[in-house]
Amino acid sequence: MDRWACVARLGGIGDNLIAASTLRPLKRMGYKVEVITSSMAQAVYLHNPFIDKLTVKEDGDIPGGPEWQKWFVARAKEYDLFANLSHTCEVRHSCQVGGTQFWARPEYRRKLCAGSFLETVHDVVGVPYDFGPLYFCSEEEKEVALSAKNASIKGDFICWIISGTRIDKIHPYAPYIIARVIKEMGIPILLMGVGTKQHELAEAIRNDVTAHNSSRDGLHVIVSHEGLPEEKRWGVRPSLNLVMQANLVVAPDTGPAWAVAMEPIPKVIMVSHASVENVTKHWVNTITLHADPNEVPCWPCHRLHDDISTCVAGKDKASSACMENISVDMVLEAIDKQWKARKQVTGNVVRLADVG
């Protein structure tokens, strides 16, 4: 008789890609594997060879309040192994403004929130630290992504993820850095993001690059937002498939970056409220940049900031001090090193991994 394991994870793209790390070891332990997720994140699991059943829940399908946890407890009885991974990162490794820990001493918060996101989900499920690729695209998807790339970008390119969802997940000097990379290094850059706010940031970057370089040549933008007709919006999978074809990925701690976390593609990741241990421990071919705690003593704060009022702002008052402390030279040096390292990577291949 088959043994069934179920992993439940409601939340965003990055949250679910982290949860996906547990599926490989479950499969190797002999389980049939079901994943319960939200409609907004289901796309990240398509073509994952370690999933036997994908269950998608819409808003309202699971009761709220005290009944929320009871729903998962009831479902757990249907499986030989069940793990609800919701809240593993945003509660275990971060503090929310409504919680007492948010206002605790920084030293206590760092002790409380220490550890690796990946290790935590493996510990919750009870599987070995068997880390590998988190996102899988098909041959057809790869061809579509390559066609989209070749239609506008000739040759190798950097994919720059514009920002995350919070105030501390954007580098304030990104426009200047991007302009210099294009002009001085001759490297094309693809800006990628989603939503109205990131569209506005992309427009600002485009204007700054044009002003600095007297041209927008070498800068490409893909940002899906409500102002675009539906047929021109990029979905989750087309966007992630294109990230997978990049020769270097530069990003804050965001969902799209997690898609390539365990890929050989060189990466430059800038962390803000979270620690290096939280985010990029176990990542492959990654340079992680962070603030100097001697200059920014609040880093890492492990706080989920809803707005700048609870964050230590940088000089421009619109970004976090920890991101601002990652200097232009630091980013340029890391990009130069990783761009040269790309020659050691033969290119990303479609990986429908052996599940044995």
pLDDT tens track, the chain, 356 positions:
899 999 999 988 999 999 999 999 999 999 999 999 999 899 999 999 999 999 999 988 999 888 999 999 999 999 999 999 998 888 899 999 999 999 999 999 999 999 999 999 999 999 999 999 999 999 999 999 999 888 888 889 999 999 776 777 889 999 999 999 999 999 999 999 888 788 888 899 999 999 999 999 999 998 876 666 676 778 889 999 999 999 999 999 988 999 999 999 999 999 999 999 999 999 999 999 999 999 999 999 999 988 888 999 888 767 899 999 999 999 999 999 999 988 766 444 333 333 33
pLDDT at residue 74, rounded to an integer: 95
Contact 296, 321 (CB under 8 A): yes
Q: Give the three-class secondary structure for 252.
A: strand
Token pair belonging to 55: 């269950």
CB count within 10 Å of CB 348 equals 20
Q: Which of 170, 122, 129, 159 is nearest to 246 (CA)?
A: 159
Q: Give the predicted TM-score (pTM) of the model.
A: 0.92
Name every residue whose Cβ is closer than 8 Å to that of residue 220 and which is 6 or more positions away in sequence. Answer: 152, 153, 157, 188, 189, 190, 191
Amino acid letter for position 164: G
Enclosing H/E stretch for 190 = strand 189-194
Two domains, one topology: 4-125 and 147-344 = yes
Half-sphere exposure of 100 (CA within 13 A, CB side): 1
Q: Which residues does 221 contact at the CB level (< 8 Å), separation at least 6?
A: 190, 191, 202, 206
Specify the 3-state DSSP secondary structure of 81. Answer: strand
With residue 277 as reference, give the H or E element that holds it. Answer: helix 276-279
Domain boundaries, the chain: 4-125, 147-344
What pLDDT is recorded for position 68? 92
Q: What is the CATH number of domain 4-125?
A: 3.40.50
Of 41, 32, 46, nearest to 3 (Cα)? 32
Identify any residues that bridge with 288 across adjacent strands, giving them in sequence order: 269
CATH of 147-344, one of 3.40.50.1360, 3.40.50.170, 3.40.50.2000, 1.10.8.60: 3.40.50.2000
Which residue's structure tokens are 């370089």? 213
Q: What is the pLDDT of residue 133?
A: 96
